[in-house]
Structure 1
Amino acid sequence: MRGSQNSSSDEQVALSDTRSNEHLEVENPKKRSFLLGLGALIGAAGAANLLGGGGLSVAMAYQGNPQSWQSAGRLFTQKQMQLLRDICQLVIPKTDTAGAGDVDTHGFIDNQLVRCHANWQQTQVVDLLKRIDAAAQKRFKKSFSEASESQQLALLSAIEEAEKEFGRDDAEHFAFLKHMIVFGYFTSEVGATQELAYLPVPGGFKGSIEYSSVGKAWLVNQ
């Protein structure tokens, strides 16, 4: 999980996306369990898109700051950081555990885009945030962050469905952003240890057990 002292800063991870069953092949066996879990959450193609350029090592090294939305990030303005925090919290809301906005997934995305992604991907997300805020101003006469939760959800649903002021490109860019939110959340301490069942040292293998007796997916740190 993020912040662990056992993280390696320069490990190179290679993924291959097969056509038949989206199986993930990883050169470093110590990371295989985590990557398989991420692939199950967002698909092998989505995982491969997130993990280029040392993406996993950078993700694990990131130290969160829940107040990061109050100032400009490395890529985003302060208002964009706040908007992104609101989107993160809508995608993974707070329940009995913290939501994505609570664990600084927005700051994670800001850092991850700058450290691991090409300029065109950075621009893609920045432009998407601008389009979201512009749509909120047009629809509700207020910024996205000032809109009600129901208004915010309606706007994000329109992006997913490529409706009204949004097209297929917007839907694809929003899907990429959601993948980053999932990646950021489940590499945070809360996501890894409270939402996933976390084993710092894996125990023995037990086959053919009922899923109901487990209740969660497992994140194994080997």
Structure 2
Amino acid sequence: MDRRIALKNTALLVGVTLGGGTLASLMQSCQNQKRMDWQPQFFNEEQAAQISEITEMILPRTETPGAKDLKVDMFVDLMFAKTLSPEDKEHVMKGFERFVEICQERFGHPFTELDAEQRKEVLQQVGEETNTFNPSIWGSPLGVQEPLDFYRRVKQFTLIGYFTSEEIGKNHLRYDPIPGEFKGCIPYKGENSWTL
């Protein structure tokens, strides 16, 4: 299975509690901001540089734009700043500190100074150490969801930001701004998924 298709399906399963309009406005505010003028709202500049590289590792540029091309890293920072409770923010920062420790323990350098293979190893270890989403039935999670760790949140917000961006929605997914009649049962012929 293609990696982007797998990520897209994961993003759709993740779901969010924010409305589509809120996500669109947050993403649009990032798209309009010039990278040179960007002042992170949640992370400091050094931390934000590491977040940028993590998002690009999750969704690198291929035949489609990468995460940094679409300023998804700016969206991730904004999501951390605007959507998390104080307790979740504290939990995330503890996870970020552990992420920094792993980089230092394994390679003696911050994430931004590691090569692609070293970055992959760090993210794999962080991914193994972090919690995951509870399984769900019909969109309702089973059991009580523990607060999500730093890396799981970054992945979640990266996928949301990427697939709700105008570039991906209009140019890489199917997009119909004025839909016609509803057809509930039509054959699937392998077309792209509909944009959110």
User: Same fold by TM (over 0.5)?
Assistant: yes
Measure the CA separation in 2 of the matches of 1:153 and 1:77.
Answer: 23
Higher RCO, Cα 8 Å, sep 6+: 2
| Cα shift at 1:113 | 2.2
| Cα shift at 1:57 | 5.7
Q: Which runs of 5+ in 1 are unaligned?
A: 1-37
Matched, 1:210 2:188: yes
**Aligned with 2:101 (options 134, 159, 167):** 134
Amino acid at match of 1:41: A
Measure the CA separation in 1 of the matches of 2:125 and 2:79.
Answer: 26
Contact 1:88–1:181 (8 Å) recurs in 2: yes
Question: Aligned runs of 1:152-163 on 2, under 5 Å?
Answer: 152-162=119-129
| Cα shift at 1:99 | 0.9
Amino acid at match of 2:115: S
**Residue number in structure 2 paired with 1:25:** none
| Cα shift at 1:154 | 1.1
Contact 1:113–1:121 (8 Å) recurs in 2: no
What SS does the aligned partner of 2:100 have? helix
Deviates more, 1:203-212 or 1:74-83: 203-212
TM-score normalised to structure 1 length:
0.65
Measure the CA separation in 2 of the matches of 1:97 and 1:61.
Answer: 19
**Aligned with 2:11 (options 36, 41, 53):** 41
What SS does the aligned partner of 2:111 have? coil
- Structure 1 pair 204–168 and aligned structure 2 pair: CA distance change class (3 A): closer
| Cα shift at 1:208 | 2.6
TM-score normalised to structure 2 length:
0.73
Measure the CA separation in 2 of the matches of 1:62 and 1:200.
Answer: 20
**Aligned with 1:114 (options 74, 81, 98):** 81
**Aligned with 1:67 (options 25, 29, 35):** 35
Matched, 1:192 2:188: no
Contact 1:84–1:106 (8 Å) recurs in 2: yes
- Structure 1 pair 120–39 and aligned structure 2 pair: CA distance change class (3 A): farther
Amino acid at match of 2:53: D
| Cα shift at 1:116 | 2.5
- Structure 1 pair 124–106 and aligned structure 2 pair: CA distance change class (3 A): farther
Off by >6 Å, runs of 4+ in structure 1: none
Q: Which runs of 5+ in 2 are unaligned?
A: 1-7, 133-146
Measure the CA separation in 2 of the matches of 1:57 and 1:191.
Answer: 12
- Structure 1 pair 122–62 and aligned structure 2 pair: CA distance change class (3 A): farther
Identity %: 24
Contact 1:83–1:129 (8 Å) recurs in 2: no
| Cα shift at 1:66 | 6.1
| Cα shift at 1:67 | 2.1
Amino acid at match of 2:62: T
Contact 2:131–2:152 (8 Å) recurs in 1: no
| Cα shift at 1:122 | 2.4
Question: Aligned runs of 1:60-99 on 2, under 5 Å?
Answer: 60-64=27-31, 65=33, 67=35, 72-99=39-66
| Cα shift at 1:71 | 5.7
